[in-house]
Structure 1
Amino acid sequence: MPLASVVKDLASVASSKGAMIVFGLGKAMIIARYLGPELNGVITALLVYPTLFMTFGALGVRKSSAFLIGSGQFGEEDVKAGVLQAWLVSTLFSVVSIFILIYYLSNGSHQPLIIFLAIAPVPFSLLNTYLSGIYLGNNQIAEYNKVEWVPTFILFLATVVLVVFAGLSLKGALIAELLAPFLMSVLLISRMRVQKYLSLRINRQLLGSLFSLGMAFAVSLLVINLNYRVDVIIMDWLSNKFEIGIYSKGSVLSQYLWQIPMLLGTIVFARGARATDRRVFSLKVTQLLRISLLIIGSGCVVLALGARLIIMILFGSEFLPSAEVMLWLMPGVLLLTIFKVLNMDMGGQGKPWFALKSMVPALGLNIVLNILLIPRYGAVGAAFTSTLSYSLGGILFLYQYSSATGISIREIFAYSREDFAFLDPYIKKIKNRLG
């Protein structure tokens, strides 16, 4: 993994993640100020099932297709044809399943139009997810990044137009959620011309590889994402929409901190599928982890010290209780960074089941404590529970990763001058300009 190549990919992904954070925060601010805590809670509760189930409905095809292309097991054209066939099946399955979940499990009486708007983005989001795996498998990081940040930009603009100027409130916010993936799908179809790969001829070996490996990724991702969203589901049953709204805005900033390890993780996964020397690559991943921990740790300190002021500026005084939620989440966010980065190494090796060893116990703890604490403590109880769950998951994964790779925990956290070598060219330029 040449350093210059890593720096180039890092800069590309950094700009993408930066755009996602800016536009995502902009949308969150608009929704908070124009809809208030309760309607924010309604949106969060309504979208939790599409967001969560789409993780499983995607069947891990993005990662499995990236792995199959990156490892050279199948040609790109064959994978594209298989991906489209998988998309048609999974779309039908996902839409029906999500409708059942919202209709029967959501604690609220929603109009048919509202339910339709909540479900309608799913086919397009799935298509975008599937097709982005082609870019990832070819190590086309810049193209992959566009699939990540462009929908966020479209969503922000649509929210401004429909919520701020058109005054459509809840319906406007949901229509914006639909427009973003739909327009991205149009762009991808136009660019990749995937329609020519639609075929009734089934490559059983390819589809078998996509679904067998993809199912493993899907189950793993479902358990991981349940750890992030089960609190909202339980709050929908045991609390109220106001508390959900407060929790959603308290957690949104901490979730943006995770864009840092995800930034690094995108590079790790794409290169992991092609890596030959696994130990050398794993050592490079631990180096990325150490850098991530420094950056995220600093971010956590800043958010903790300025929690109330930050919430007030971004979301308004109605959301001030979200500051306490954010404070309780910080330790867990930092510790789960260990999992966020190191798991990309195992995913890059085609070992999605590995994450379940730590995430299943963490999910069990999350569910039990949420049921016990949410009725009494609401959003704060959910935040405290999340921190305990994240911490358990991160620590368990650390020990399991160390055992699997043969890299000691001491070695994983041992900082060295080499960790910051990527800064040398920039430091040299500054010195030359000053000197």
Structure 2
Amino acid sequence: MLDKLTALSQKLGAGMGLLIGNLVWLLTDQILQMGLRLLVGVWVARYLGPTQFGLLNYAHALVSLFAPAAAMGLGTLVVRDIARDPECEEETLGTAFVIQLTGGIITLLLAVTAISLLNPKDSLTLWLVGIVAAGTMFQSFETINFWFQSQLQSKYTDVAKNSVSLLVAGISIGLIQVQAPLIAFAWVSLAEVALGGLAIALVYQSRGNNFKLWRVSWQRGKQLLQESRPLVLSSLAILFYSKIDLIMLGSVDKTELGYYVVAVKLSETCDFLPLIIASSIYPKLAQLRETNYAEYLKKIQIYSDTMLFLWLGVAVPISLLAPFIVQTLYGEQYAASAGVLSIYVWAQLGSNFWIARNTYFALEGQLQYNLYLTVAGSIFNIVLNSLLIPQYGALGATVATLITYFYVSILVNFYIKELKPFASLILGSLNLYKAASRLLASSK
């Protein structure tokens, strides 16, 4: 086996081997982080109870609406520019750092202003939002991570971040043992971002780099901001689409939000799988589209089939075992989450096909539709939530999400001309017998 791996590595070449090694590190980091978050998240949720857990997540959801102002959509741009022109990396890094630090300050001000207007007499919620939002300023250190990504050396920052995550997990468990108040867990989230930034900075310096060489260019800043504007708008639309139900439900009933958040977190545990499939299959599909269009159509149909069966493989067991899963992990106090989970997990059909459709958009040069449909989905979701949440609480938010995903990810493809080819892929996959036959044939 070792000889085969060595031979494969030699065939791939040094550059491809480095790329695959970096992807393995990223995947490993994602799995470890997911497992750690789930473990500690369950522990914290059981300690805080549905109401306080809901309040904490309400603060995080509200801050996340303004998070694109902190990130400024610079990630891919900075990585691209450093890879293209290494001689300008100090100027790019210095300028991006200042832009993101400014964005973090803006995020803090916007979040605090928003919660002051929404809940002017709720000092605890104001403090929670302020503390969580302060963490966005430290996300400016992600600029350093962009450099490591451009060098395909993400494993160094992964080790640093995982070390901080382990430390913070220990602190969270310690807070539970001493029966700390709710606000202490908001401080922990701030500490995690701050310590993570410090750790990345130390790793950057240990690799022989020098922050003193960084410089700020206003001209470069204007270029980055101009290029990042569509990315910021798209990120804002996506976050608004995914978080508005949490904010609307939390504004009505924090306890119901606690039940809902538990169901959402459990339902989305395997969300990284369709993303990994999409990133893995995209280069091959892009190549086939240019060289063999007929084979490209066959492969993209198999990709659609894969996403459907991946959904069934997750949704069916989770839906059937929802009461057992919730009871085992979160205890009797979250029993109401089981009914929500058994329904919410079926919305993952729309989530899987949303990811698949974005891959299709990228291949066909139709990415503008992603922004349009995200905005439309946000509006549709707000209307449904406003109608269903007051009467049905967490269950109403769940039904609103299910309907929205079905409409925006599935149904809309059948009556927009440019999206009808993707609708044909969905119809092909819904024939489970033929879809299974294609998958079996492709695996031989």
Normalising by structure 2, we get a TM-score of 0.79
Partner of 1:433: none
Whole-angstrom CA distance in 2 between matches of 1:133 and 1:41: 33
- Quick check: 2:63–2:133 contact (8 Å CA) kept in 1? yes
2:147 maps to amino acid: I
Partner of 2:6: none
Pick the aligned partner of 2:61 from 48, 65, 76: 48
1:363 Cα deviation from its structure 2 partner: 1.1
2:317 maps to amino acid: V
Whole-angstrom CA distance in 2 between matches of 1:145 and 1:404: 38
What aligned pairs does 1:191-340 form with structure 2 within 5 A after superposition?
191-193=203-205, 195-199=211-215, 201-202=216-217, 204=219, 206-237=220-251, 239-264=252-277, 279=290, 290-340=305-355
Describe the shift of the 1:75–1:59 C-alpha distance in structure 2 as closer, same or farther (beyond 3 A).
same
- Quick check: 1:57–1:218 contact (8 Å CA) kept in 2? no
Greater C-alpha radius of gyration: 2
SS at match of 1:257: coil
Identify the structure with bigger relative contact order (alpha carbons < 8 Å, sequence gap 6+).
Answer: 1
- Quick check: 2:95–2:218 contact (8 Å CA) kept in 1? yes
Say if 2:193 is the partner of 1:178: no
Q: What number of residue pairs does the alignment pair up?
A: 413
Describe the shift of the 1:323–1:173 C-alpha distance in structure 2 as closer, same or farther (beyond 3 A).
same
2:378 maps to amino acid: L
Whole-angstrom CA distance in 1 between matches of 2:395 and 2:63: 25
Describe the shift of the 1:408–1:36 C-alpha distance in structure 2 as closer, same or farther (beyond 3 A).
closer
Say if 2:202 is the partner of 1:190: yes
Whole-angstrom CA distance in 2 between matches of 1:92 and 1:263: 33
- Quick check: 1:41–1:241 contact (8 Å CA) kept in 2? yes
Normalising by structure 1, we get a TM-score of 0.81
**Which runs of no fewer than 5 residues in structure 1 stay unpaired?**
422-435
Whole-angstrom CA distance in 2 between matches of 1:400 and 1:11: 40
- Quick check: 1:20–1:148 contact (8 Å CA) kept in 2? no
Say if 2:117 is the partner of 1:117: no
2:37 maps to amino acid: G
Describe the shift of the 1:128–1:380 C-alpha distance in structure 2 as closer, same or farther (beyond 3 A).
farther
Describe the shift of the 1:256–1:373 C-alpha distance in structure 2 as closer, same or farther (beyond 3 A).
same
Whole-angstrom CA distance in 2 between matches of 1:108 and 1:64: 42
1:166 maps to amino acid: V
Whole-angstrom CA distance in 2 between matches of 1:301 and 1:219: 35
Pick the aligned partner of 2:391 from 361, 373, 376: 376
Whole-angstrom CA distance in 2 between matches of 1:405 and 1:66: 35
Residues 108-160 of structure 1: per-residue CA shift (max 9 Å, x gap)? 61246544422221212x22444433344444454565577555444422211
Residues 319-355 of structure 1: per-residue CA shift (max 9 Å, x gap)? 1111111122122212211223543676799986441
Describe the shift of the 1:410–1:370 C-alpha distance in structure 2 as closer, same or farther (beyond 3 A).
closer
Residues 46-80 of structure 1: per-residue CA shift (max 9 Å, x gap)? 22121221134311111332344456698443431
Whole-angstrom CA distance in 1 between matches of 2:382 and 2:227: 27
1:46 maps to amino acid: A
Describe the shift of the 1:401–1:281 C-alpha distance in structure 2 as closer, same or farther (beyond 3 A).
farther
Whole-angstrom CA distance in 2 between matches of 1:363 and 1:185: 32
- Quick check: 1:232–1:244 contact (8 Å CA) kept in 2? yes
2:199 maps to amino acid: L
Describe the shift of the 1:40–1:259 C-alpha distance in structure 2 as closer, same or farther (beyond 3 A).
same
1:213 Cα deviation from its structure 2 partner: 2.7
- Quick check: 2:161–2:200 contact (8 Å CA) kept in 1? no
Whole-angstrom CA distance in 2 between matches of 1:67 and 1:331: 37
- Quick check: 2:361–2:367 contact (8 Å CA) kept in 1? yes
Whole-angstrom CA distance in 1 between matches of 2:79 and 2:372: 24
Describe the shift of the 1:297–1:208 C-alpha distance in structure 2 as closer, same or farther (beyond 3 A).
farther
SS at match of 1:306: helix
Pick the aligned partner of 1:91 from 104, 107, 126: 104
Partner of 1:16: 29
SS at match of 1:167: coil
